[in-house]
Amino acid sequence: MFILNNDINHQPCICCSGKAYQDCCLPFHLKNVYPETAEKLMRSRFSAFQLQLKDYLLESWSEATRPASIAFTPGLNWLKLEINGRKKGRKKDKEGWVTFVAHYKQDGVSGSLHEKSFFKRNQLGHWQYIDGEIK
């Protein structure tokens, strides 16, 4: 797996948490541990989109709503994540919402995605993405 042999482990995580990748989303991507909160899952999915971790994205997506596969847009780079709001989604909760702005650049042109995502725990207690409302 390319992330194991890469310098990015020591660099600031793509999800903008301020932590190094190895202390942030990497353990989730390696499935060593599962995110405790909906926000952490959200962050790990953002960085997984940039790293094109197809399996992680599909596995953290509810079976009820996940697509058959994910195609990454060539030339699209996810650059920055801003979390603007959260409702529930804590350790004791079974569902939660995260509102965010995801900034990207596609072929040199900047853009952003504003979304309110909905998350639920599955039978194993792991957070999963259900769906999102584009703002």
Residue whose tokens read 């709503």: 65
Beta bridge partner(s), residue 121: 127
Candidates 39-47, 72-80, 83-91, 109-117 — which segment interacts with Zn ion by CB under 5 A?
39-47
Q: Name the minimum Å distance from CB 109 to Zn ion.
A: 25
Q: How far apart are CA 127 and CA 91, in angstroms?
A: 10
Candidates 21-29, 53-61, 63-71, 125-133 — which segment interacts with Zn ion by CB under 5 A?
21-29
Q: Name the minimum Å distance from CB 47 to Zn ion.
A: 5
Q: How far apart are CA 44 and CA 122, in angstroms?
A: 17
Q: Is 26 in the site for Zn ion (CB under 5 A)?
A: no
Q: Which residues contact 93 (CB under 8 A, 6 or more apart)?
A: 38
Q: Which is nearer to Zn ion, 15 or 51 (CB)?
A: 15
Q: Which is nearer to Zn ion, 19 or 94 (CB)?
A: 19
